[in-house]
A = this chain, B = another copy of it.
């Protein structure tokens, strides 16, 4: 039974977040993750790489080793190993170590190294996010409920962007930076989303009139997704209110924080 007890203890420390060794482990882990991502960031800056590249490489190897040990320990002590390995965080844990080994073995796999930046996601596991899941679900449900409206909206935007892009390609032409159809449509997207880099801008008078039209259109259009989400979120909140029902008078429509029926004063069933 000693083995089982060890696994259970490890599981408590590695997966748990209670005060004591579990929390200490979490704090150390967060510190290591942040150090590792900071090292990645610094190493990508040419001047820092030139001077501290070797040290940062050594640090990276150390971090990878630590994460590998942690990954193996997690597999070892998890109750359902398969479930952990194919869970979202299980894959993130694997991707935190794999690219470094691949880059050592396979030449030309350096491009994969950037994947390690997603180590930052591991921080979220440690933060107790259970309470946020229901809120995330409300947001996702609102987006899902309005997916048809959002599809109609994106179809309209696509059509507009093709129309404005093609028109500008005809009017401005390659001399003014609208060198091809795809590039003109890229300009249209940059304009309609109001990003407006300014790398491609209309130079002819007619082109500026069309561009101004595209901007004013985008102005009206940006209101639509916002309206959709606002309206959906509010309906969601109203539906939420109708879920709990008073046992005495059978009426619904109670607020989330309500403990007594507002119609008859009866105590409401507790939320779970």
Contacts and interface: CB of A to CB of B under 8 A. Distances in A.
Interface stretch (A7-15, A66-74, A217-225): A217-225
A182 B44 contact: yes
A186 interface: yes
Q: How many copies does the complex hold?
A: 4
28 contacts: A44-B181, A45-B182, A114-B169, A115-B166, A120-B158, A121-B159, A132-B152, A138-B149, A189-B212, A190-B212, A193-B194, A195-B218, A196-B196, A198-B198, A219-B225, A223-B225, A226-B227, A226-B230, A227-B228, A227-B229, A230-B231, A231-B234, A234-B235, A254-B262, A258-B263, A260-B261, A260-B264, A265-B265
| Shortest beta-carbon contacts, A-B, top 8 | A227-B229, A260-B265, A195-B196, A258-B262, A197-B198, A44-B181, A223-B225, A135-B148
The listed residue with most B CB atoms (<10 A of its CB), out of A179, A190, A191, is: A190
Q: Which has the most chain B C-beta neighbours within 10 Å: A46, A135, A150? A: A135
